Structure 1
Amino acid sequence: MSSEPEFGVMLSTFGDHAYPAAFRRVAATAEREGFDAVWAGDHVSFPAAIPDDYPFSRSGESPFHVGLDTYDVFGVLSHLAAVTDEIDLGTNTCIVPYRHPVVLARNALTLEQLSDGRFDFGVAPGWLRTEFEVLDVPFEERGSRTDEFLRLLDRVREEGEVSFDGPHHSFRTTGFHPVPESGRPKVWIGGKSGAAFRRVAEFGDGWTIFWDHPDDIAASRERILNAWRDYDRTGEPEIAVVRAVHVGADAERDTLLTGPADDVVADVEAYVDAGVTRVVLDFYTTDIDEQVEQVERFAREVTPSF
């Protein structure tokens, strides 16, 4: 093993298993068991028409549909900030173009304050074209709008009072107080494009990805490090992978992070050797009891090896 990884838990804010008591229970379990973070995804609304180009499945078929219960990620994490004490709370990932940049900056700064500096701000341009249509945001502008926001956020965190003239939004001097501590909140960039890797180097503290194999992460990390050096960044970026986990002999050993604890430990070691600094648990089940049991089992049987 090259270093000691952190561990997190992915909280679902969509579906029949997404409800306030479940959010509190999963977050409390993760904190009690010594996990470093709880992260949650971001959608504003699921349209009736969802194209088959979901980027995190081989078939492109999306797990989402128009009838899903859907909770606002900033509302959920603000709620959890009041019922947790130490665990980091993060968006993975907030879709930047969905919101006006001033509103989004205020959301992030507020959550940073409400959590006493525990907010992980994961951001990405988004993929669900029809959701952009619902929100009346041009899908083709999602990349440039993400860059615009990240440039604004850099200034907001340093200056507090900012005037801005960007390709999509311009405004006279306005305040963004209270300004967080230097370098806060930590910014994680999602995505696998060259533009995403450039954003990690230009604006980010880390990179986050779903499901990738250790070999793929190692290759992506090399590209990120090349960009990192181009921007004269010091140190190295953090890297998080979100992956479904099932610890137990009852699981078929047909994918990484499933099966007996020793096998899962070996898989985590492979991710660490590839450059991963945080492994975030997702789940094969929507049953909250089973999710909690997996968090507890992982803490008992896997994390002590690190």
Structure 2
Amino acid sequence: MSSEMDFGVMLSTFGDHASPEAFRRVATAAEGAGFDSVWAGDHVSLPAEIPDEYPFSPSGESPFHVSQDTYDVFGVLSHLAAVTDSVDLGTNTCIVPYRHPVVLARNALTVEALSDGRFDFGVAPGWMETEFEVLDVPFEERGSRTDEFLEMFTRACEEGQISFDGPHHSFQETGFHPTPDDDGPTIWLGGKSGAAFRRTAQFGDGWTIFWDRPDAIAAGRERLMNAWTDFEREGDPEVAVIRATEVGDDTERDPEKPLVGEPEKIVEDIEAYADAGTTRVVIDFYTTDIDEQIEQVERFGDGVVDAF
């Protein structure tokens, strides 16, 4: 197989199926099956009122409910750093404006240190307005607060001790130790807006998106490369797609969907993603049953990951 591709597994930190045991089982299964990373989403709170504006559902209906367990993503990844050895551990995506930037930088640098440099820092401005209300953060400032943090975090990783004067936060010289080796965590930006592509080119190493098919990935990457050129970036950005999978000839899912069907068909799907510029495919699941998720991880590892 000529294509180079990284593979990841999406871990849910909220929902009825979320638990410390589930996190450990799925993460260690992914590592054992040859995956490169384990990523998890971020919510601080699930309010009773959730807008029907979920960006990854055609109907806008979200899968969240106020009664669901909700785990802190940095606590989960710190826990997994102790029970894994090789897989990268990442946020996909951390909603930047939810936290004070100094606190968020400390969270990120802690996971980076505890994992011996295996942290992937996926970030985005967020979408759930009622969650912003719970946290007393102005929803309309989410973009500028994300830019502010990325500027501050880049400096903190490079310099170790900085003072900062931004549009939303200012502080005297303070330390961000332990500072990471090299350039710090890989930074991924989520979203499809022009601002998302600009942020990726200005601050990031890669772009990440949910569910898109290869043609949409190719179109998004073209927009990203325009921004990449504007900022005179060298090399090529990473591109990740998160997509639910169901491996096997016993699936009742639509076989025309990417990553659904027998391994040979899924390998062809991933080749199409690679041709579109994708460098990492992160699998999600159609099921919340942890045993079934692990079975899918193992099937994908044996039949797909090993082909690349």
Assess if the C-alpha contact under 8 Å between 1:8 and 1:281 holds in 2: yes
Could you tell me which residue of structure 2 aligns to residue 221 of structure 1? Answer: 221
Could you tell me which residue of structure 1 aligns to residue 69 of structure 2? Answer: 69
TM-score normalised by L of structure 2: 0.98
TM-score normalised by L of structure 1: 0.99
- Note the C-alpha offset of 1:259: 1.0
* CA distance in 2 between partners of 1:254 and 1:263 (Å): 10
- Note the C-alpha offset of 1:260: 1.4
Could you tell me which residue of structure 1 aligns to residue 93 of structure 2? Answer: 93
Could you tell me which residue of structure 2 aligns to residue 140 of structure 1? Answer: 140
Task: Specify the SS of the correspondent of 1:245.
Answer: strand
* CA distance in 2 between partners of 1:200 and 1:64 (Å): 28
Residue identity opposite 2:69 in structure 1 = D
Assess if the C-alpha contact under 8 Å between 1:200 and 1:207 holds in 2: yes
Q: Which runs of 5+ in 1 are unaligned?
A: none
Out of 272, 281, 284, the position equivalent to 1:282 is 284
- Note the C-alpha offset of 1:182: 2.1
Could you tell me which residue of structure 2 aligns to residue 264 of structure 1? Answer: 266
Could you tell me which residue of structure 1 aligns to residue 9 of structure 2? Answer: 9
- Note the C-alpha offset of 1:257: 0.7
- Note the C-alpha offset of 1:2: 6.5
Task: Specify the SS of the correspondent of 1:83.
Answer: coil
* CA distance in 1 between partners of 2:240 and 2:185 (Å): 16
Alignment of 1:75-86 (within 5 A): 75-86=75-86
Structure 1 runs of 4+ aligned residues shifted over 6 Å read: none
Could you tell me which residue of structure 2 aligns to residue 27 of structure 1? Answer: 27
* % same residue: 74
Could you tell me which residue of structure 2 aligns to residue 42 of structure 1? Answer: 42
- Note the C-alpha offset of 1:295: 0.4
Q: Which runs of 5+ in 2 are unaligned?
A: none
Could you tell me which residue of structure 2 aligns to residue 297 of structure 1? Answer: 299
Alignment of 1:125-164 (within 5 A): 125-164=125-164
- Per-residue Cα deviation, 1:158-215 (whole angstroms, up to 9, x for no partner): 1111110000000111111111112211100011100000001000000000000100
- Per-residue Cα deviation, 1:136-158 (whole angstroms, up to 9, x for no partner): 00000000000000000111011
Q: Could you say what the CA RMSD is over the residues aligned between the two structures, in angstroms? A: 0.9
Assess if the C-alpha contact under 8 Å between 1:2 and 1:273 holds in 2: no
**Worse overlay, 173-182 or 135-144:** 173-182
Assess if the C-alpha contact under 8 Å between 1:2 and 1:272 holds in 2: no
- Per-residue Cα deviation, 1:39-94 (whole angstroms, up to 9, x for no partner): 00000010000010000010100110101100000000000001111110000000
Aligned residues: 306
**Worse overlay, 164-173 or 176-185:** 176-185
* CA distance in 2 between partners of 1:34 and 1:259 (Å): 20
* CA distance in 2 between partners of 1:113 and 1:301 (Å): 33
Alignment of 1:193-204 (within 5 A): 193-204=193-204
Alignment of 1:170-181 (within 5 A): 170-181=170-181
Could you tell me which residue of structure 1 aligns to residue 104 of structure 2? Answer: 104
- Note the C-alpha offset of 1:304: 2.1
Residue identity opposite 1:228 in structure 2 = W
